[in-house]
Chains A and B, each alone.
Chain A
Amino acid sequence: MGNFSYYLRFARFRFKEPWTDFRSSIPAYVLFAFFVILLTEVWERFQSGTSSFRKSEVLLYVGVTETFFMTFLRPKNIQTGMEDFAIYLAKPRSWIGREFFGNLGATFGTRLFYLATLAVLIPVLSLVTGPFTTNLGGFFARVTFLLFFLAVPQALITVLFSSFKLSFPQTDYFILPFGKLFLSFGGVFAPLSDFGEPLKSIFLKLPGSDLFFQAAHFAVKGTPYGMSFEEWFLRVCVIDLILAVFVLLAFRMGKRRFQAWGG
């Protein structure tokens, strides 16, 4: 229990990170607002009104997925985790526990900030899209739940990459393409449900769909696409479990290599 309270404290510690240096993050939030508007307009043009999402819904969808996009696999978090690895071998606490909770806090904190930006933007955006048909109260409640729920796989993926980087410094070159492809196939730029076949069926089967598209669909429409909430919830839990096993394996491999070769 003492351990858990320590790691939670560390999560709170990292949660505060984006809130203590708001000024330097302003460009990112402005860019975020710009992307939300731009991607909404682009998708509307592509679909010429045939989308299963109304314009205001696309805007909320893009708002949610862009929040994920801006906070997914941040190189800074991966680097911090890797740098702290050695020193935590000399401390009486677990590196994995600390990194997991730290990333959980950091991801949650940053995503909350983007969400707050979206909330501030909504009255302005309604001038472009017309009145929002989605119940905004329900939308923000669902997104808040998602922030907790999806911070777990996000934290696990970050720890996984930090562990990989211990063994293979070349991991850096892999992070960017992996992150972008994972997000694109996960429907970050537009709803997967609007894609044509066979891409739609293929992308819907990939884990990115569960972590981004289904999550955003659930936030906007109140239910995941083509499956029940329980089924989607279970699928994300299975992804978490698989990621946790990979984290342990990668950590052991990283530790062995680090201790044998000196990092």
Chain B
Amino acid sequence: MNYFKHLESNFFTAVESLDTLGAMNSSPTPAISALSLTKRFRPELPPAVENLSFEILPGESVAFLGPNGAGKSTTIKLLCGILVPDLGSAAILGKPAGTPDANRHLGLVFGARSQLYFHMTVRECLELQAETYFVNRETAKLRIPKLAEIFGAGPLLGRRVRELSLGERMRCEIVTSLVHQPKVILLDEPTIGLDVIAKLGLRESLRTWRKEENTTLLLTSHDLTDVEALCDRCILVNHGKKAFDGKLSEARRAFGDRRKIHLTLSEPCPAELSLPMNIERKNSESAYELNLEFDPKLIPLPVVFDWISTRLGTKIADIQMGQTGLEEAIRKHYELGAR
């Protein structure tokens, strides 16, 4: 009897597996997939990455976030074959990570590591990079000016890399990583050290490129304005484990979708102000300003406005309202995780 029960159970498991296989075949091959990735550098230390699994579909733009030492860079290195996992596996477009087949489809940008040669002109560097990825010379000659145009690097092509500013060099770095039209780009802190204008320009160019090429993008950055400008989804890691995987808007909600109210007053605000429960007073620059923060799920907006108008009504000179940014939300999440 037991034997038949075992047989029956095996049969249903097999049918389920076939169903899963069918479903997998009908869905597109993920651009990036990580399955139970685990990497430990020293036996006495906790793993840098532990049982990390995720899939990124072609055309998706995903931020890979986490505090320092969370395992972001280790994961990126595992995905491009620089490191080998102790357990689990990773694939790029279905090809095992680290193999030449997978690497041909990868574009890499490391903000802290240049891929350009300082003694050569930008054009020479780009041509060499194209050849590194087996792009023939004719194709490269056509592609380089087009790409340089998108990233505003056209006038830089004839200049030596050592003569470029950091912002100009980063634009060229990104063009270098795209010259072979990779289907997947891994960007590790691409805007590190750039000023606001250079960052904006770079993000805009990357957005244009993505729209045209439908490239999959995996971005790690400590600058969450990069993330908000370029990504739709985020994967949050902490202590080597996945802490969140979902849309950016969901991340904001999950980690505290709070509202901020900034009041400018005609008289100094009392130092001691009795606030209703669930409204926090935040630091302000002068006594004539009052900053409040609250979670609309915990205290309804009319209640907040009612309190403001009752307590401060005639003293209000100006009022501004906003939402806490992703950066703040994630910082809070890290802080909670650290406790």
Of B116-124, B192-200, B264-272, B282-290, the one contacting chain A is B116-124
Interface size, B (range): 20 to 34
Of chain A, the residue at the smallest CB distance from B121 is A20
Interface string of B81-118 (1 = CB under 8 A from A): 11110000000000000101001101010100101010
Of chain A, the residue at the smallest CB distance from B103 is A92
In the complex, what residues of A have CB within 8 A of residue B133's CB?
91-92
**Is the Cβ of B41 less than 8 Å from the Cβ of A262?**
yes
Q: Which of A9, A259, A260 contacts B131 (CB 8 A)?
A: A9
What's the nearest-Cβ distance from chain A to residue B122, in Å? 13
* A90 and B100 contact, Cβ closer than 8 Å, known pairs A13-B120, A261-B41, A262-B77: no
* A90 and B41 contact, Cβ closer than 8 Å, known pairs A6-B131, A13-B120, A20-B120: no
Q: Which of B82, B115, B124, B128 contacts A89 (CB 8 A)?
A: B82
Query: In the complex, what distance in Å separates the CA atom of A169 from the CA atom of B325?
Result: 43
Query: Does B134 reach chain A (CB closer than 8 Å)?
Result: yes
**Is the Cβ of A90 less than 8 Å from the Cβ of B108?**
yes
Interface string of A72-95 (1 = CB under 8 A from B): 000000000001001101111100
In the complex, what residues of A have CB within 8 A of residue B84's CB?
259-260
* A92 and B100 contact, Cβ closer than 8 Å, known pairs A86-B82, A259-B84: yes
19 A–B contacts from the bound complex (CB under 8 Å): A9-B128, A10-B128, A13-B117, A13-B120, A13-B128, A17-B119, A87-B113, A90-B81, A90-B103, A90-B106, A91-B103, A91-B108, A92-B134, A93-B132, A259-B83, A259-B84, A260-B84, A262-B48, A262-B74
What's the nearest-Cβ distance from chain A to residue B178, in Å? 14
Query: Does A21 reach chain B (CB closer than 8 Å)?
Result: yes
Of chain B, the residue at the smallest CB distance from A17 is B119
Task: Tell me which residues from 1 to 41 in chain A have a Cβ below 8 Å from any Cβ of chain B.
Answer: 2, 6, 9-10, 13, 16-17, 20-21
Query: In the complex, what distance in Å separates the CA atom of A260 from the CA atom of B132?
Result: 26
Q: Which of B100, B104, B115, B117 contacts A87 (CB 8 A)?
A: B115
Query: In the complex, what distance in Å separates the CA atom of A10 from the CA atom of B134?
Result: 14
Query: In the complex, what distance in Å separates the CA atom of A86 from the CA atom of B119?
Result: 21
Rank and list the top 8 A-B pairs by shortest CB-CB distance, nearest first.
Answer: A90-B80, A92-B100, A20-B119, A259-B84, A92-B103, A89-B82, A17-B119, A92-B104
**Is the Cβ of B160 less than 8 Å from the Cβ of A20?**
yes
What's the nearest-Cβ distance from chain B to residue A237, in Å? 30
* A13 and B103 contact, Cβ closer than 8 Å, known pairs A87-B113, A90-B108, A91-B132: no
Query: In the complex, what distance in Å separates the CA atom of A2 from the CA atom of B133?
Result: 11
What's the nearest-Cβ distance from chain B to residue A25, in Å? 11
Of chain B, the residue at the smallest CB distance from A255 is B84
Of chain B, the residue at the smallest CB distance from A260 is B84
Query: In the complex, what distance in Å separates the CA atom of A70 from the CA atom of B140?
Result: 37
Q: Which interface residue of A2, A83, A86, A90 has the most chain B CB atoms within 10 A?
A: A90
In the complex, what residues of A have CB within 8 A of residue B104's CB?
92
What's the nearest-Cβ distance from chain A to residue B282, in Å? 40
In the complex, what residues of A have CB within 8 A of residue B132's CB?
6, 91-93
Of chain A, the residue at the smallest CB distance from B162 is A21
- Extra A-B contacts (5), CB below 8 Å, given A20-B160, A90-B98, A90-B106: A13-B128, A17-B117, A89-B98, A91-B132, A262-B83
In the complex, what residues of A have CB within 8 A of residue B42's CB?
261
Query: In the complex, what distance in Å separates the CA atom of A9 from the CA atom of B133?
Result: 14
What's the nearest-Cβ distance from chain B to residue A108, in Å? 15
What's the nearest-Cβ distance from chain B to residue A196, in Å? 45
In the complex, what residues of A have CB within 8 A of residue B80's CB?
89-90
Task: Tell me which residues from 204 to 256 in chain A have a Cβ below 8 Å from any Cβ of chain B.
Answer: none
**Is the Cβ of A83 less than 8 Å from the Cβ of B81?**
no
Task: Tell me which residues from 63 to 79 in chain B have a Cβ below 8 Å from any Cβ of chain A.
Answer: 74, 77
In the complex, what residues of B have CB within 8 A of residue A16's CB?
119-120
